[in-house]
Amino acid sequence: MDALKTIAQSCLKTEIPAFEVGDTVRVMVKIKEGNRERLQDFEGTVIAKKNGGIASTFTVRRVAHGCGVERVFPMHSPNVAEVTVTRHGKVRRSKLYYLRDRVGKAAKVKEQIL
């Protein structure tokens, strides 16, 4: 069991920026197409975070062409190249699942003034 913990500790990323639920982030994802590899960005609002050591994930939601798209990213995955925070949101909940039911400006999160 200790060997598994040491392997998990060695796979943890250290350069993850500090972001919270409600923030707008841009995630650069490695996409493999045949023998080529490219980076694709996915920008949206963080609606959930799950902390669990190496199994930590965060869910990002955006509206593309009038359709809501959500993706769950493993925090320590080698396929997640980088995460940059675009803006900080002001929220009072730890999970923003209620944004799924909102349309238009009602689905926006207010910006936090730092």
Please write the tens of the pLDDT for every residue from 21-52: 999 999 999 999 999 999 999 999 999 999 98
Q: Tell me the H-state helices in the chain.
A: 2-11
* pLDDT recorded at residue 19: 94
Domains and CATH numbers, the chain: 2-104 (2.30.30.790)
Q: Are 49 and 20 in contact (CB under 8 A)?
A: yes
To the question of pTM greater than 0.85 for the whole model, the response is yes
Question: Residue 61 in contact with residue 49, Cβ under 8 Å?
Answer: no
Tokens at residue 110, please? 């207010």
